[in-house]
Chain A
């Protein structure tokens, strides 16, 4: 039989837990209310001073002193908030102010912390303020992927040769998060990465090359042509697909020849990418070969070939009409569907 003593203990424990939860819940609510009210008041005043400092063109010592007196968490909130809306000289002034009030130094200290969350915060503050600092550059090789990704985001605003080369190395990063951030950052750097990226693609293969090819496709510069040709011959399917897309985006004669060869690739995704590339180039000389791909065993290849023929124009449409009367019902069906498409939906 259970003793009443046990019941008393159980009841006491549960009542204790509930009382603790109630106290915590409401105490936290009260603290949150007061904290947010204080924060709102202080942030509003900091926001006003910062907007003044950033837009006026001159920095007033008294205003900086006033900002120094504000608690550090409020300084950071106000600075990061306003940084989103500034660029150029105004952003530089904001970074200067951040340095003067001590936010940059504190962020630097955070970047050197042993805890990843602090390093991440430090890198985020310096990124958002566009502060050029070798400490953040060092974080490109941090042990935590989120920190590496943040450092890559920072690097996007500082397109130097050293940084671009460090970023390209990160295209082989095993962590998707860091790789994605690096690809994004390289894209934001724009044309300056084209040269180093072309060299990188000529020397690398595998995952790094595939990630690089995606960036190159968005930049679509002719100097990627040679690397794309080489990479289109690798055994990695993903790389061949990305290379075929890049060849289609670059649009050179040699690329077109290679894309025609890729129409015979073993992998249907590569064949589809090749057909898509030829359509993108409006390569009318490949029309008869694309018409042959309307008989492909894979649906996606037939679709890509049909759409490519349609985008080539009159010669392609001629082949599509011929396919309607051909003996292959799959080719005829796809040709009919492509010809039925309204012109706006027929782009590849």
Chain B
């Protein structure tokens, strides 16, 4: 290689790395703003809820009815426990709609046997086109329970069927294997009672792996000792406590987890319900509600409430986790592409000018830039074009600052809800916050890049999620 060519390549590598470095500096700077914002929001929230008496809400006939939509596909082993936990939720006007999405196992039989179901006819308006409903059941012992058996059409289709049958002003979309804390709905409904322009609220999702579960309730929290679930505990805390809470104060929330979200039924139905042909149907719906609120000049506030908690099982194998992250990133790309006209469009206010570009340049393209930076660094170090000083600075900017921010998120959790109480759990949390940068984060870059690649190739496969099941209470 001639000296001149070497010089050119070295120049390109250096400039590229500087750009990536600046990008990470900007992103982490923005995260710092989010952290401060979430701190302020959390403080306001804690002051508002200190000593509040929610039992008044429980006894009020004015409380809006909530219809829980629980899609189930081949859940014969877990459906009874999950459903009993749902029926025991502390909320006065509650309806639980289980939608068996063409289950091939004995899901329906188990439900009929254990919940005393009888087939009924009902009148419903099908405003969203869905796969045919086979039969409808009501329980002779639980008046609040409705079970719908329908042809298989995917989660979005099942939720749309649930929307047609729901009688509540509000609908709670969730996964059948999510464990909602008993007072979760009472807490999550607050923004709907307190503000007029709210169309959707989301709660916090926490990782249940390694925690003890009894009768569908988490009775003892614990941080997993295994790498993948352990690191995901930290990831979830970061995403919810400083990501969504921080955006809440800035009015830029556009994500509500599909595992636990509360929506105004009419707003969802009028917007056309859940889309079938996307793997990011929950984010798509929220972004559509937001977009329509600008276009129709109607209500469109998306609120995140930090204290209602739902517990979910996260993947423990790299293979399944990779599939999940790949799907999430494909979903993100798909949703952003569908609503691309919002980008830098002043018609969509803060969302168009600021939030949407953030999701494109930070959430969507971060893995690309991170991969470019890492590859350039490796080539630079191998060819001698980059010295170790730059490599060190790159690592400190890209990962070191992130670790510091994560550490402060843990403090935020400790100052507010402190669900992890023992010294062992604290040490583990901190350990996973440090360790996630040494391999795990690079793996997620690869998975997200794979998702982006699959999106560009038009792949809309969901993949399968293997679950180990919740950890029961052990005799002490």
User: Which residues from chain A sit less than 8 Å from chain B, CB to CB?
Assistant: 1-4, 6-7, 10-11, 14, 17-18, 21-22, 24-26, 28-29, 32-33, 80, 84, 117, 120-121, 124-125, 127-128, 145-146, 153, 175-177, 180, 183-184, 187-188, 214, 218, 299-300, 303, 306-307, 334, 337-338, 340-342, 345
Q: Which of chain B's residues 33-61 have a Cβ closer than 8 Å to chain A?
A: 47-48, 50-53, 55-57, 59-61
Query: Which residue in B120, B195, B196, B393 is a CB contact (below 8 Å) of A10?
Result: B393
Q: Do B123 and A80 have beta carbons less than 8 Å apart?
A: no
Given contacts A24-B411, A25-B414, A121-B51, 20 further A-B pairs with CB under 8 A are A2-B389, A6-B389, A10-B396, A18-B403, A21-B404, A21-B410, A28-B415, A32-B418, A33-B421, A80-B51, A120-B48, A128-B53, A180-B62, A180-B193, A183-B62, A188-B56, A214-B62, A303-B125, A345-B120, A345-B138
Tell me which residues across on chain A come within 8 A of B430, comparing CB atoms: 22, 25
> Chain B: which residue is nearest A24 at the CB level?
B411
Tell me which residues across on chain B come within 8 A of A341, comparing CB atoms: 120-123
Q: Do B48 and A146 have beta carbons less than 8 Å apart?
A: yes
Q: Do A17 and B194 have beta carbons less than 8 Å apart?
A: no
What are 21 of the A-B contact pairs (CB < 8 Å)?
Answer: A1-B389, A2-B389, A3-B389, A6-B389, A7-B392, A7-B396, A10-B393, A10-B396, A14-B403, A17-B404, A25-B407, A25-B430, A117-B48, A128-B53, A175-B194, A176-B193, A177-B193, A180-B62, A337-B121, A341-B122, A342-B121
Tell me which residues across on chain B come within 8 A of A188, comparing CB atoms: 56, 59
Tell me which residues across on chain B come within 8 A of A121, comparing CB atoms: 50-51
Query: Which residue in A14, A25, A29 is a CB contact (below 8 Å) of B400?
Result: A14
- Total contacting residues, chain B, CB less than 8 A: 45
Q: Do B404 and A303 have beta carbons less than 8 Å apart?
A: no
Q: Provide the bound-state CA to CA distance between A121 and B120, in Å.
A: 50
Is B390 in the interface zone, CB < 8 Å from A?
A: yes
Q: Provide the bound-state CA to CA distance between A28 and B418, in Å.
A: 10
Q: Provide the bound-state CA to CA distance between A218 and B411, in Å.
A: 46
User: Across the A-B interface, how many residue pairs have beta carbons closer than 8 Å?
Assistant: 121
Q: Which of chain B's residues 381-435 have a Cβ closer than 8 Å to chain A?
A: 387, 389-390, 392-393, 396-397, 400-401, 403-404, 407-408, 410-411, 414-415, 418, 421, 423, 426, 430
Tell me which residues across on chain B come within 8 A of A334, comparing CB atoms: 123
Tell me which residues across on chain B come within 8 A of A3, comparing CB atoms: 389
Tell me which residues across on chain B come within 8 A of A29, comparing CB atoms: 414, 423, 426
Query: Which residue in B51, B195, B196 is a CB contact (below 8 Å) of A125?
Result: B51
Q: Do A18 and B53 have beta carbons less than 8 Å apart?
A: no
Q: Do A187 and B55 have beta carbons less than 8 Å apart?
A: no
Tell me which residues across on chain B come within 8 A of A21, comparing CB atoms: 404, 407-408, 410-411
Q: Which of chain B's residues 121-162 have a Cβ closer than 8 Å to chain A?
A: 121-123, 125, 138
Q: Do B51 and A128 have beta carbons less than 8 Å apart?
A: yes
Bits for B54-90, please: 1 = Cβ < 8 Å to A, else 0. 0111011110000000000000000000000000000
> Chain B: which residue is nearest A183 at the CB level?
B62
User: Which residues from chain B sit less than 8 Å from chain A, CB to CB?
Assistant: 47-48, 50-53, 55-57, 59-62, 120-123, 125, 138, 193-196, 387, 389-390, 392-393, 396-397, 400-401, 403-404, 407-408, 410-411, 414-415, 418, 421, 423, 426, 430
Q: Do B194 and A180 have beta carbons less than 8 Å apart?
A: yes
Tell me which residues across on chain B come within 8 A of A218, comparing CB atoms: 61-62
> Chain B: which residue is nearest A127 at the CB level?
B53
Q: Provide the bound-state CA to CA distance between A257 and B38, in Å.
A: 56
Q: Least Cβ distance of B126 to chain A in Å? A: 10
Q: Least Cβ distance of B26 to chain A in Å? A: 15
Q: Least Cβ distance of B258 to chain A in Å? A: 27
Tell me which residues across on chain B come within 8 A of A303, comparing CB atoms: 123, 125
Q: Do B62 and A184 have beta carbons less than 8 Å apart?
A: yes
Tell me which residues across on chain B come within 8 A of A7, comparing CB atoms: 389, 392-393, 396
Q: Provide the bound-state CA to CA distance between A153 and B123, in Å.
A: 39
Q: Do B389 and A4 have beta carbons less than 8 Å apart?
A: yes
Q: Which 4 A-B pairs have the closest CB atoms?
A: A21-B407, A177-B194, A117-B47, A17-B404
Q: Do B123 and A18 have beta carbons less than 8 Å apart?
A: no
Q: Provide the bound-state CA to CA distance between A342 and B119, in Å.
A: 10
Contacts A2-B393, A10-B396, A341-B121 given: A187-B407 contact, CB under 8 Å?
no
Q: Do A10 and B397 have beta carbons less than 8 Å apart?
A: yes
Q: Least Cβ distance of A234 to chain B in Å? A: 20
Q: Provide the bound-state CA to CA distance between A200 and B411, in Å.
A: 51
> Chain B: which residue is nearest A36 at the CB level?
B421
> Chain A: which residue is nearest B123 at the CB level?
A337
Q: Provide the bound-state CA to CA distance between A17 and B421, in Å.
A: 23
Q: Least Cβ distance of A341 to chain B in Å? A: 6
Q: Do B411 and A28 have beta carbons less than 8 Å apart?
A: yes
